[in-house]
Structure 1
Amino acid sequence: MMKKSLKSLVNLLNLMLLLFVLGACSSTDKTNNTDDAPTAESIVIFTVNDLHGKIDNFGKVKAILDEERKKESQVFFVAGGDLFSGNPIVDFHPEKGFPIIDLMNRTGIDVSALGNHEFDYGQEILNARMQQASFPFLSANVKNINGELNLPEGRVTIEKDGFEIAFIGVVETSSPGNIPSTHPKRIQGLDFEEGVNSVAKYRDDEEVQNADLVIALTHYGSHGDEMILQNHDFVDLVIGGHNHDIYNRKVNGRYMVQSGSNLRYMTKLSLEVLEGEIVEYEYELVNLDEKTEEDAEIMEIVAEYNNKPEFYEEIGTSLRDHNSAQTGCFYTDALRTITGADIVFQNYGGIRAGLDFGKITPFDIYTIDPFGNGLDTFSMSVKELKEFLEAPDAPSMAYSGLKMTRDNGRVRIYDPEGRELNDEYELVIGLNDYISNVHSDDFTSPLKTFEKTTAEYLIEYLKAYQSVIDYEDCNNSI
């Protein structure tokens, strides 16, 4: 009996030893089995930003995307905002902004940040354009208090062939009052938070945590994008817009990119992503003006949108290429003629192009001044005007009329004979209603509100007063 028990114990020990060896071998085999090791995913992201209504290169964009989609299943196409304002074909379409959303739908864009100029047509039209879009607009830092805006999502997750990217969107708030750079009347009832703070609330978001990659898709400018990378380590990449720059910059070990403006360039990012980390990163800046292959169907649609002969009527002649300052001289001289004001101002941020050599058309004027701003005059004392011009948040402006100088930050204003005006002297000031609304504490009750837009008055000036324009040596800036 004792012998049988001993034999059984030996057999049991041998069995246990065998199982241990088999387990060890199985473990070793699993470790060496490369088929079970995680492999990197190859993805491609195309980015554009600040299109400002420019549509002529969409045929090239579509051709490039279609070619890449033949080779890769995980191709993303995204935009950093400011799709509107800058092309009369888009801005003055019967349904404002319709053509560019139509073309973006047709190219298969996945998502766009909401830019400050998306508000330029007003909230009701923006709602219509967002409804037209087959892609989402994103902005995590806008709140609707009592406005008309159908609020966009703050983040969205987009999946391609099993690979998920969580996109978080924010818009800049650089204007006085912590609002985006658009006409204050068009964002009434909305409230805006600083973008970097809005990104923070997605740190513990379940969809963001489960995504293979987290991208801040912003219209925030380079400084804001840097703040995101400095403060939020869960963001893997920032694709930005707003300041019309071109860069591929590394901050805290992660990248931020921007692709210029006006659809001249597109960025291509080729990434290898392993377990939520970008292990290989390749950047290419695509110059669309140098590309020749175009999608024929898209180009037919672009040509149809561009077929607006009324925009190309000759209404004047420019004797040279005018830079921004020289164009500002033309602009303010024209509006001073229209208003009869002592001084007319125009913010340089509202001069979106130079006046080029050759014939001048309504298309040119609406390109220079695309925003549909109104025109007002105000009565101000010299002292009140100085206080506005010397304030830290005063915009950089062109002006026409009485001579002004600035010395160590102090402004002096002179009459036509060159005598300095005293502080009590009353002036009539002309300017667009964007400036007066942004700086409403300085400009309260207009003397006169004009019926037409500033661009329409520039066209009227060329037709009725002065059709040959030459400002070779002019630079009236304050």
Structure 2
Amino acid sequence: MKKPLFLLGVLLILFAVGYAVGRIVRAHCSERVVVVLSTNDIHARIRRFPQLASAVAQCRDTLGAGRVVLVDAGDRWTGNAYVDLAPEPGQPVLDLMNRLGYDVATLGNHEFDRGQAALGRRIAEGTAFPVVCANVRSDTCTFPQLPAHAVLERDGVRIGVVGVVTNYEGPGHPAGNAASFVGLRFPDPQQAARDAADALRGEVDVLLLLSHMGDDRDLELLASGEQRYDAVIGGHTHVVRDTTIGRTLLTQTGKNLAAVGATTLRLRGRRLVGADFRLVPLDGYAPDSAFAAEVARCYDNPELNRPVGDFAAAAGKTGLGNWICDRIAAATGAEIGIYHVGGVRIDTLPAGGVGLARLYDLEPFSSRIARVRMTPEQLRRMILLKYNDGENRKEAHRIDLIATTPYTIVVDAEDRAVDVRFPALREGRAYEVALGDYIFRNYAGVDRAAGGITERRVVDVLFDDLRRAPVLPDNAPRQRREPRP
């Protein structure tokens, strides 16, 4: 009797050992798949959320929700009056992201457009997912100190997600008015990304960087030999990017929620054995009805839907910029009007009626008009410094300043601006110049002691002009660049 029992015990032990060994073999030899869905630079384009919701639901249904991660790389608002002018500015896009179940996000520069106190409230009270940023330091009571990273677990895989935001445009902080950043510090994002990765080493199986530095800075980081990250999910420069540097995947989805990124991570045991990226256009998805109803409620705003006036012809970005320059100069009695192309937030406006919401889409910042006296030499210096800007490269090497007065930027063989010619201005004479307050506050070369910011808002000036008569836009460029002879 004892012998059969002994044999049974041995068999049970062998079975248990075999089962344990089998589990170990399966864990280390079978392939596991996790998909990271990513957005960047949504800019409040919530009309696309119903399609995004369908795409995310399909991925979760196919793989199982436990194998899907949903992330955002910054700039969630600024670009849609129905979001930006909501009772709680920006909250409509956060409500949709909360409902869709985002797992983690980082900051973009436009998160600060309403000031750090407003952003602090949105993070503390309106955001259901963690916001991570390794290169922001807060000494204020209005803005919470954010964590550098979050750790997510999917199908037994530990995924570390680090966030960084640009500090190049300020300089020393993201693009925006300096008042929004008082009490905040933004250390070098590239070094912060390295330090955060080192802090997570050994704790996670996969390491992702949510970067709002721009793909040029991401490439710079990776080209320096950085191999700590398995994938960099980027934003800020509004490009489509699918590149592998060394072993690191670098991605970006463009802007305005035209597409969602799908990064597929394949692991054998806890070792990453493959990663690839696919850009998924959202046009191919039928809108989710519940999300469509929520978006429709956001757009049910009689004040913003009210028509203001008409455009007699279609306007492109140049035509819209020229219109702004003309109107701010006329409204303040200035001889020259200047506006920056980054402040023109829509690319085209068709002929026909224009509602109040569209005006706010064009100029969503509540910018005020500044006046300053400048000579052609001072204007030349401002334009040269902006064109050759080595820090804020997103706005460099382009005609960034639109003006009522024509000018030509002369560039050398390396595309460095060496001169600016003003055919209609007299050297040595000081001119009254109307500027957007962003230029007045932030651009190098402006003598701020020679002027000041008025109480007149740019959007109000445009509203008054549109209300008086149909606008016939001038789409002809007034500025150009040419190679040095």
TM-score by length of 2: 0.85
Shift, 1:30, TM fit: 6.3
On the 8 A contact 1:318/1:360 being kept in 2, the answer is yes
- The residue type equivalent to 1:158 in the other structure is L
Aligned to 1:365: 359
1:443 aligns with 2:452: no
Alignment counterpart, residue 467 of structure 1, candidates 466, 470, 477: 470
When residues 303 and 203 of structure 1 are mapped into structure 2, their CA distance, relative to the original with a 3 A threshold, is closer
When residues 36 and 235 of structure 1 are mapped into structure 2, their CA distance, relative to the original with a 3 A threshold, is closer
Q: How do 1:24-423 and structure 2 match up within 5 A? A: 34-35=25-26, 37-71=28-62, 72=64, 73-131=66-124, 132-146=126-140, 148-205=142-199, 207-230=200-223, 231-292=225-286, 294-358=287-351, 359-391=353-385, 392-393=388-389, 396-407=399-410, 409-415=418-424, 420-423=425-428
Q: State the superposition RMSD in angstroms.
A: 2.6
On the 8 A contact 2:148/2:196 being kept in 1, the answer is no
Show CA shifts across 1:402-461 (max 9, x none): 44344453223355xxxx5132x1211111111111136623136453324212221122
1:407 and 1:287 map into 2 onto residues whose CA distance is 40
Question: Which stretch of the first structure deviates more once superposed, 237-246 or 138-147?
Answer: 138-147
- The residue type equivalent to 1:42 in the other structure is V
Show CA shifts across 1:20-72 (max 9, x none): xxx9xx99x96999446443321111111000011012122222222322332
On the 8 A contact 1:406/1:412 being kept in 2, the answer is yes
Show CA shifts across 1:121-168 (max 9, x none): 101110111121011112111122457321211111112343221001
On the 8 A contact 1:80/1:219 being kept in 2, the answer is yes
1:441 and 1:195 map into 2 onto residues whose CA distance is 27
- The residue type equivalent to 2:202 in the other structure is Q
Question: Which stretch of the first structure deviates more once superposed, 88-97 or 70-79?
Answer: 70-79
When residues 309 and 382 of structure 1 are mapped into structure 2, their CA distance, relative to the original with a 3 A threshold, is same
Question: Which stretch of the first structure deviates more once superposed, 30-39 or 238-247?
Answer: 30-39
2:222 and 2:379 map into 1 onto residues whose CA distance is 41
- The residue type equivalent to 1:54 in the other structure is R
State which structure, 1 or 2, has the greater radius of gyration over its C-alpha atoms.
Answer: 1
On the 8 A contact 2:28/2:269 being kept in 1, the answer is no
On the 8 A contact 1:376/1:448 being kept in 2, the answer is yes
Q: Give the count of matched residue pairs.
A: 445
On the 8 A contact 1:184/1:434 being kept in 2, the answer is no
User: Which secondary structure state, in structure 1, belongs to the residue aligned with residue 47 of structure 2?
Assistant: coil
On the 8 A contact 2:372/2:451 being kept in 1, the answer is yes
1:126 and 1:266 map into 2 onto residues whose CA distance is 25
On the 8 A contact 2:55/2:285 being kept in 1, the answer is no
Instruction: List 4+ stretches of structure 1 deviating above 6 A.
Output: 29-33
User: Which secondary structure state, in structure 2, belongs to the residue aligned with residue 283 of structure 1?
Assistant: strand
Shift, 1:323, TM fit: 2.3
- The residue type equivalent to 1:471 in the other structure is D
Q: State the percentage of identical aligned residues.
A: 25
Show CA shifts across 1:282-305 (max 9, x none): 43322112322x322211111000
1:178 and 1:325 map into 2 onto residues whose CA distance is 30
TM-score by length of 1: 0.86
2:37 and 2:26 map into 1 onto residues whose CA distance is 31
User: Which secondary structure state, in structure 1, belongs to the residue aligned with residue 349 of structure 2?
Assistant: coil
Structure 1 gap ranges (5+): 1-22
Shift, 1:115, TM fit: 0.4
2:73 and 2:54 map into 1 onto residues whose CA distance is 21
On the 8 A contact 1:329/1:398 being kept in 2, the answer is no
When residues 398 and 160 of structure 1 are mapped into structure 2, their CA distance, relative to the original with a 3 A threshold, is same
Show CA shifts across 1:199-256 (max 9, x none): 1212432x44221210011111112222333433221111111111112111112211
2:176 and 2:24 map into 1 onto residues whose CA distance is 59
- The residue type equivalent to 1:49 in the other structure is N
Aligned to 2:4: none
User: Which secondary structure state, in structure 2, belongs to the residue aligned with residue 93 of structure 1?
Assistant: coil
